[in-house]
Amino acid sequence: MSSVKETIHVLLERPQRVELTVINLDDPSCDRLLQLLCATRDDELSCEDVFACLDEYVDCLLNRSQMMNIPLVEHHLSLCADCRDELRALQRALTLAAADD
Ligand SMILES: [Zn+2]
């Protein structure tokens, strides 16, 4: 039975056999990944949250009114292409609907 101290010593002396998996990212991908990691917040909205309030968000933009979580929605939109697409689709639909009137 070896002591903890001996075990640590053995571990530290042991040659590195761990093979690291390296993902080759080009610089822009790396930058983007870092930006996403750095931009992560504790109070993130999920895509479902954003989808659920997207119409309210567009309404706020159109009427220049305020809702509680605009910064959170915009934060999510800045990071999420899916929700940006959804927002654009919604805005396009509203523009078409307005043109019909
Ligand atoms: Zn999203």
Task: Output the CA 41–ligand 1 centroid distance in Å.
Answer: 14
Q: How far apart are the first and last CA of the chain?
A: 84
Cβ density class 45-71: b for 16+ within 10 Å, e for less: beeeebeebbeebeebeeeeeeeebee
Domain ranges of the chain: 2-39, 47-100
Q: What is the pLDDT of residue 76?
A: 94
Regarding predicted confidence, which is higher, 46 or 101?
Answer: 46
How far is the centre of ligand 1, averaged over its atoms, from the C-alpha of 81 (Å)? 7
Take residue 101 and report the two structure tokens written for it: 């009137």
Helix axes 70-79, 81-100, angle to 10 degrees: 110
Nearby residues for ligand 1 (ion, Cβ within 5 Å): 47, 80, 82-83
Over residues 64-87, the pLDDT tens digits come to: 777 667 888 999 999 999 999 999
pLDDT of residue 35: 75
Residue type, 49: D
14-62 pLDDT tens trace: 655 556 667 777 888 878 777 777 777 778 899 999 999 998 898 888 8
